Structure 1
Amino acid sequence: MAEAAVRGGAEEEEKKEEEEGGDGGEAAAAAPAAPGRGQLFAAVVDTFLEKLVAAGSYQRFVNCYRHFYRLQPELTRSIYDQFISQLQASIKEEIQEVKEEGNLEALFSSLDKIVEEAKEQEEPAWRPSGIPEEDVCSAMVPYLLKHRAYLRKVLKEKEEENKKLAESVLAGRDRIAELQQLIQDRKQAWQAISKEQRELIMTFKEPQ
């Protein structure tokens, strides 16, 4: 009878453990999923707005406009509430524009999807060699070499363009020097002709 009692107690304990294990599995299955990045971003924005409102308290607002508050306390409160409401709406609108321009919702969803898919994957998603430094180098070096070749090409084109511009400037300077010399020669020639004309006129004016 003692053996039967022990066996019965063991069976009851096993049954209890199975029931507890089953409850634990159901509890784990019923556990809420982790919030996505979009929800976290929205929570961060809401927290920021709350901190912003807390930083600019109503008392500080009243201290800045204490004379007006003494005359119209209710109107002061109304103005403060409208100001805070418009400030929050403006910030949310700006953040929404940034989200739309950067397509953040789609990016957040894509990241969440990648994380979910990686949960069932035991091996690293991308580690050809297993050494992070070598993997990064193998991926980045070809891109950097291509970018360096592009920069060298652009630099060479700019150097050739600057060389042509410099030659054009030098040619322009030479042309200006030639024109200045031509003007100087013509000026001297004109001065010589004018001198001869004056001498000729003076000759005719001399008394006979």
Structure 2
Amino acid sequence: MADVADCRSVEPSLTDSGQTSENASSNMSGQTGVPENASVKSAKCEPRRSRLKVFNKVMEKSLQRLIADASFNRFAHSFHPLCKQNPQMAEVIHKQFISDLQKAIQEDINRVIEEGDLQVKLEELDRLEEQAKDTPGPAWRPSGVPEQDVCSVLIPYHQGQEEYVRRELRKLQKENAALAQRVQSGRDTIAHTEQRIAAAVEEWKASVADLESFVSSLCPSDDF
């Protein structure tokens, strides 16, 4: 009978400590969240609804509910002999368990965000949504016919590639024409140079012939 009375006297203290641990865990969970982009943007550029803030809020609420479900009352109910024997030690163990659980969950969330690059992708979705507001026409929707959907995607792509090839071809043709003009100009320069060299050679030959004639006139071969 004395043990039963002691157990009943301990249970209210366990309940009070459980409420205290719940409040502490809820305060700790309020500090969790994904670090948001610190860059300051103008009011016009900011999206009306930030998906990053929504994601942080959802993760925060989920973590709060999880911590609330792991209250000290449930812990005391599952480990009643330990709580009955040493309630202070049980409370310390529960607080350490909540702290480690919260830290492990937050690390998993951060790992998912880092591996999936969620912050950049959510901000990109916000930017695309903001740009879509200025689009007058409706967004593309599948028609239900795979052939038409594939053609509607591939035909513009191939048309763009064809236009790109034509543009590059015109660019190469223009470059080839410029190179051909430079080659022709070089050939004309070489031809003019050859003509000048040939004229100089002819003049030199004529000068040599005149010199030989002059020498022959001064020293005729009959005198020797």
Q: Give the TM-score normalised by the residue count of structure 2.
A: 0.42
Q: Give the TM-score normalised by the residue count of structure 1.
A: 0.45
Q: Larger helix proportion, structure 1 or 2?
A: 1
Q: Which has the higher contact order (CA 8 A, sep 6+)?
A: 2
